[in-house]
Amino acid sequence: MSQSSIVQVAVSGPFLSPLDYVYVESEGVPVVGGRVWVPFRNKKVVGLVMSLENSTKFEVVKLKKIDQVIDAVPLFTAQQLNLFQWASQYYHEPIGEVVSAVLPKRLRMGEPAEAKGMTHWSLTLLGEQASQDELPKNASRQRAVFEFFKQAKVLNQHSFSATNLSQALKNWQPSVKKLLQMGWLQESEAPCLAHSVYKSSPKHTLNEAQQVAVDTVINELQSTSSGFCAYLLEGITGSGKTEVYLGMIEAAIAQGKQVLVLVPEIGLTPQMVSRFEAQLCIPVASLHSGLNDTERHCAWHVMRTGQAKVLLGTRSAVFTPFKNLGLCIIDEEHDLSYKQQEGFRYSARDMIVKRAFQEKVPVVLGSATPSLESLHNVNEGRYQHLELKHRAGNASLPSLKLLDIRGEKIQEGVSRPLKIAMQSCLEEGGQVLLFLNRRGFAPILMCHECGWQASCPSCDANMTLHSGKGHHYLQCHHCTEQMPEPECCPSCGQSDEFIKVGQGTERLHEAIQDWFPDASVLRIDRDTTRLKGQMAELTGKAQRGEADILIGTQMLAKGHHFPNVTLVGMLDIDQGLFSADYRAPERMAQLIMQVAGRAGRAEKKGQVLIQTHQPDHPLFATLITQGYGIFAQRALKERIEALLPPYCYQILIRAEASHPQDAMVFLHSLKSGLTLNLQKINYEVGKIQNDKDQIEFWGPVSAPMHRRQGRYRFQLLIQATQRKRLHQLMSEMVPYIYKSPLSRKVRWSLDVDPQEMM
């Protein structure tokens, strides 16, 4: 047999390394970083070529042949493939699953890498001459969509992509379809990166702290030894971090480089894109959950080919191939949405730092409330600290005040002093924001006669009462279970009198509207923003001052800029003080500072009132009198003492099954396997150097929510002071887990650096 090549291909499946194939030249020559069709379990699937190896080995004969080569040129560079390999090893995730996660759907299906463009819609001549009155009176959506096109035309804007329409209209798809059928609208293919007209906004002159931050990073960009360097940009809310990013981005672009910017998944991406385009006067590509497959493919394509200079995206955008990456930025780096919570459980924050390291470019992590991990990295000298301690422009930080509500009269969750403050805020023409992190009407429905509570048949959780559109119904917030509110008590059958215990945003909304009948009240939570475009519509209203009172869950806490909000009231946040999760205080402190940061962002000073039954709690004392920085340093000290992350490393193995013993047996066998393995490693290493240098097992124990969606859940935590040993132990074990018959009876997952113990 003549010399031939073994092609290592990553295909989706439980394989921790790529599979070997061979090729015959007539079907095309595969390239490293390009896709191929390969036979796999009686199917033809798309795989990514990770490497090629020359071989004259006899074994080659046994290997299957590649069916067809898809890409003649690589989609990914060697560095990018290295990043995927690293992620696969670090997260103990099959390489094929990593590759599936990084490829846009179109490319996973084997479509050509080149994106043709995306669909745009515009008025036809017929549509231009038509009038709204010709549409049926009750077709209000159609009228709105048609009117949008008409008005845009006056402003000289003719054609719109799906993203453009979603930003302006909700549920526009059926109406566009109808207007197409009527011949009033037409479809056309526009390039991936359509040049729009930018309403360029005047630039602010950076203040001193902003300038220092920008210059530090620019110097790194320009230095000849230019390479990796990580910065933590800690800037209080409203200090102008975005302005700083823009300054750095401009410098990178001036050098002909591309920039990757990650933002949290909170529906703010379109607004950020507009802000970036207005300042940079170039098209900015974006990737987020609101896009369709074509749009994703387009964004991916323009970055890979270098047609676009800036990509603004959520978590998974970190894997997008760039032609000439020069700078990485991650905004609100503490945000939990950067950790993928299912499947391939990577942290986009850690990935972007790793990527910057591999590609030798600077990375900037920005936040008003940095994660303890990043502050630890600053303390250790791994990250350089850049600080913005004052608000930009004429804005000043709001004053934070605790409202001791012990013994106070509380109505629908609102205390008298808060109500009075709301009254005077409204009289002064300000906007009020009420933060209540619980959607629905009431979290508990209880029988007045016997005490029965409505609970979910599939989960260990109460059903939340919702009062949507006149009818009341019960909904579980942990699964899809939904049912009507019972007419009489299912337990005692005696009573039709139910008590609604506790407050959700719907209930608060009703009460507030009663108390302030002349005020316009907007509720922003998952229920009011479910449809495409609703979030943008509501926050737009809030921003323009069209609402007097905003009620919101944590969706409203982050990133938004409501210049008129002068009073923020926080209700019912005490439960965060008593959580069993050791990260709860950190999250709570971040949330308080972020929500508080919505107040007084323009000229008028803001006030924040926090209702609590625990005014003496040390968390409040530190946070309110000394600020987040001191709070975080104290929290880090506690972590050292308790030997918790970031001073140790964790892997959480979860298992769930319809029969609890299946999950338990699986985790126990895993634990014994790991223990044996550990003894072996210890034996090979010699001995454990010191007592602290240990690997510990916690569990298996029942998960905090024992039953969910009808399955019983357990977990095993492995904790170590040395990351390397922990990973060595795990990587030897993982292949056995996949092979074990026990693992087939359960749903299991492996979470490296877990952020939530749920």
Kindly tell me the sign of the dihedral angle through the C-alpha atoms of 370, 376, 377, 380. Answer: positive
Could you give the count of Cα atoms lying within 13 Å of 416 in the half-sphere of its Cβ? 4
Does 264 bind ligand ADP (CB under 6 A)? Our answer is: no
DSSP classification of residue 716 = E
Q: Give the contacts of 29 (CB within 8 A, at least 6 positions apart).
A: 23, 69
CB 622 within 8 A of CB 592: no
- Residue 455 near which of Zn ion, ligand ADP, none (CB within 5-8 Å, type-dependent): none
Q: Which of 685, 691, 688, 673 is nearest to 731 (CA)?
A: 673
| Total chain residues near Zn ion (CB under 5 A) | 15
Does 447 bind Zn ion (CB under 5 A)? Our answer is: yes
Of 57-65, 78-86, 155-163, 459-467: span binding Zn ion (CB under 5 A): 459-467
DSSP classification of residue 202 = P
Instruction: Specify the residue, 388 or 463, whose C-beta has the smaller distance to Zn ion.
Output: 463
- Residue 104 near which of ligand ADP, Zn ion, none (CB within 5-8 Å, type-dependent): none
Does 240 bind ligand ADP (CB under 6 A)? Our answer is: yes
Instruction: Specify the residue, 393 or 502, whose C-beta has the smaller distance to ligand ADP.
Output: 393
Answer for which of 122, 175, 216, 239 binds ligand ADP (CB under 6 A) is 239
Does 126 bind Zn ion (CB under 5 A)? Our answer is: no
Does 491 bind Zn ion (CB under 5 A)? Our answer is: yes
Per residue, the 3-state secondary structure of 22-60, as one string, reads ECCHHHCCCCCCCEEEEEECCEEEEEEEEEEEEECCHHH
Whole-number Cα distances in Å, 415 to 377, 421, 565:
42, 10, 20
Rounded to whole angstroms, the Cα distance separating 206 from 368 reads 18
CB 105 within 8 A of CB 293: yes
- Residue 393 near which of ligand ADP, Zn ion, none (CB within 5-8 Å, type-dependent): ligand ADP
Site string for ligand ADP, 380-399 (x = CB under 6 A): ------------xx------
Rounded to whole angstroms, the Cα distance separating 320 from 352 reads 11
Does 660 bind ligand ADP (CB under 6 A)? Our answer is: no
Answer for which of 74, 94, 238, 290 binds ligand ADP (CB under 6 A) is 238
> Closest distance between ligand ADP and the C-beta of residue 274, in Å?
13
Does 561 bind ligand ADP (CB under 6 A)? Our answer is: yes
> Closest distance between ligand ADP and the C-beta of residue 463, in Å?
38
> Closest distance between ligand ADP and the C-beta of residue 241, in Å?
4
Answer for which of 192, 329, 446, 456 binds Zn ion (CB under 5 A) is 456
| Total chain residues near ligand ADP (CB under 6 A) | 16
Instruction: Specify the residue, 179 or 233, whose C-beta has the smaller distance to ligand ADP.
Output: 233
Of 43-51, 240-248, 438-446, 686-694: span binding ligand ADP (CB under 6 A): 240-248
CB 457 within 8 A of CB 470: no
Does 614 bind Zn ion (CB under 5 A)? Our answer is: no
Does 560 bind ligand ADP (CB under 6 A)? Our answer is: no
Residue 140's CB is within 10 A of a number of other CB atoms, namely: 11
Of 78-86, 234-242, 645-653, 672-680: span binding ligand ADP (CB under 6 A): 234-242
Instruction: Specify the residue, 204 or 382, whose C-beta has the smaller distance to ligand ADP.
Output: 204
Order of strands across the sheet that contains 43-55: 19-22, 4-10, 43-55, 35-40, 68-69
Strands 43-55 and 4-10: antiparallel
Does 539 bind ligand ADP (CB under 6 A)? Our answer is: no
Answer for which of 72, 78, 420, 450 binds Zn ion (CB under 5 A) is 450
Answer for which of 51, 79, 207, 337 binds ligand ADP (CB under 6 A) is 207
> Closest distance between ligand ADP and the C-beta of residue 561, in Å?
6
| Contact positions with Zn ion (CB under 5 A) in 492-521 | 492, 495
Instruction: Specify the residue, 463 or 592, whose C-beta has the smaller distance to Zn ion.
Output: 463
- Residue 548 near which of Zn ion, ligand ADP, none (CB within 5-8 Å, type-dependent): none
Whole-number Cα distances in Å, 21 to 18, 50, 53, 64, 68:
10, 11, 10, 5, 12
Does 479 bind Zn ion (CB under 5 A)? Our answer is: yes
Rounded to whole angstroms, the Cα distance separating 584 from 757 reads 11
Q: Which of 550, 171, 82, 718 is nearest to 355 (CA)?
A: 82
Does 619 bind Zn ion (CB under 5 A)? Our answer is: no
- Residue 392 near which of ligand ADP, Zn ion, none (CB within 5-8 Å, type-dependent): ligand ADP
Q: Give the contacts of 282 (CB within 8 A, at least 6 positions apart).
A: 253, 308, 309, 310
Answer for which of 242, 462, 590, 611 binds ligand ADP (CB under 6 A) is 242
CB 386 within 8 A of CB 212: yes
Instruction: Specify the residue, 392 or 446, whose C-beta has the smaller distance to ligand ADP.
Output: 392
DSSP classification of residue 65 = B
| Torsional class of 407: left (φ above 0), alpha (ψ -120 to 50), beta (otherwise) | left
Q: Which residues bind ligand ADP (CB under 6 A)?
A: 204-207, 210, 235, 237-243, 392-393, 561
Q: Which residues bind Zn ion (CB under 5 A)?
A: 447, 449-450, 452, 456, 458-459, 476, 478-479, 481, 489, 491-492, 495
